[in-house]
Amino acid sequence: MSADKSTSWSYAEAQPAENDVLRRARERSHELGLFPVSQGVAATLTVLAAASKAQTAVEVGTGAGVSGVALLRGLGPKAVLTTIDPDVDHLKAAREAFLESGSPANRTRTISGRGQDVLPRLTDAAYDLVFIDADKPSFPDYVLQAVRLLKSGGLLIINDALDKDRVSDPAIRDASTVVLREVGKMIRENEDLFSAMLPTGDGLLLAVKR
Ligand SMILES: C[S@@+](CC[C@H](N)C(=O)[O-])C[C@H]1O[C@@H](n2cnc3c(N)ncnc32)[C@H](O)[C@@H]1O
C-alpha cells in the first residue's frame, strides 16, 4: 500500500463539505458526549439511501441525528425513517436536527427504547434499509433482527465494523473487537446475504439480502 494512503484517506473522508444542519447536529452530538458517524460515513449513507431508493428505513442508535439527517437527505420524499434510541436527550437533539433539515415530521418515527426491545416488534420483511450504530454487544442480535426485517433486495449497513482498525489484528481480544469480528463472520457466512466492507470512517459493513 502506498505511503500516501493516509493523505488520500483524509482527503476522501472530508468530501463533500457538510451543510450547516449537519454541522450543528455534530456540535450537539459532541455536547452530549456522543461520537456521530464520520463525514465520509454520512456522505456514504446519503448515497446508499438514494441509490437503494429505500421507502422504509430503520436506524438503531439515533444519537443526536447526524446519521439520520444523512439518511433522510438520500431517502425519497415519501420514505419514512424509523429511528430507535433509549436516551430521551439524544432523541430530543435528533428531532431538532430533523426539523432543521426541513424534513416533514411524518417522515421520521422516533422511538424511545432499546433496540433489543423495539426491533422484535417491527414487521417481518417490511424494510428496505437497516442502519446499526448503537451498543456493540447487541450487534449480533441486531443483525439477526435486521435480516428478518429486510425485504429481498434490502440493504443492511453496520457502522464501526472495523472497531478503530482493531478487527484485522487477531491478537486484539477486546470485547467490542471480538463482537465486531463475530458480526463480520456471521454476515460473510450467511448465504442469504451479499456483503462488502468499506473502510470508510471506522468501517462500514454493507450487506444486501438476496
Ligand atoms: C454512536 S451514538 C449514535 C450516533 C448516531 N448514529 C449519529 O451518527 O448521530 C450511539 C447511540 O446508541 C444509543 N444506544 C445505546 N444503547 C442502545 C440500545 N440498547 N438500543 C438503541 N440505541 C442504543 C446511545 O444512546 C447513542 O445515542
Q: Indicate which CATH number applies to the domain containing 195.
A: 3.40.50.150
Domain holding 192, by residue range, is 5-209
pLDDT grade, residue 115 (50/70/90)?
A: very high
User: What's the mean pLDDT in 161-171?
Assistant: 96
Ligand 1 pocket test, candidate residues 133, 138, 143, 157, most atoms within 8 A of CB: 133
Residue 16 alpha carbon to ligand 1 centre in Å: 24
pLDDT grade, residue 17 (50/70/90)?
A: confident
Does ligand 1 have an atom closer than 6 angstroms to the CB of 90? yes
Give every CB contact of residue 205 below 8 A, 6+ residues apart in sequence: 156, 157, 158, 161, 183, 184, 187, 195, 196, 197, 198
pLDDT at 29 over 80: yes
Number of domains in the chain: 1
To which residue does cell 450537539 refer?
28
Does ligand 1 have an atom closer than 6 angstroms to the CB of 201? no
Position in ligand 1 atom list of the atom nearest CA 63: 27
Percent of the chain with pLDDT over 90: 94
Q: What per-residue confidence (pLDDT) applies to 5?
A: 86
Average pLDDT score over the chain: 96
Cα 173 to Cα 126: distance, rounded to the nearest angstrom = 36
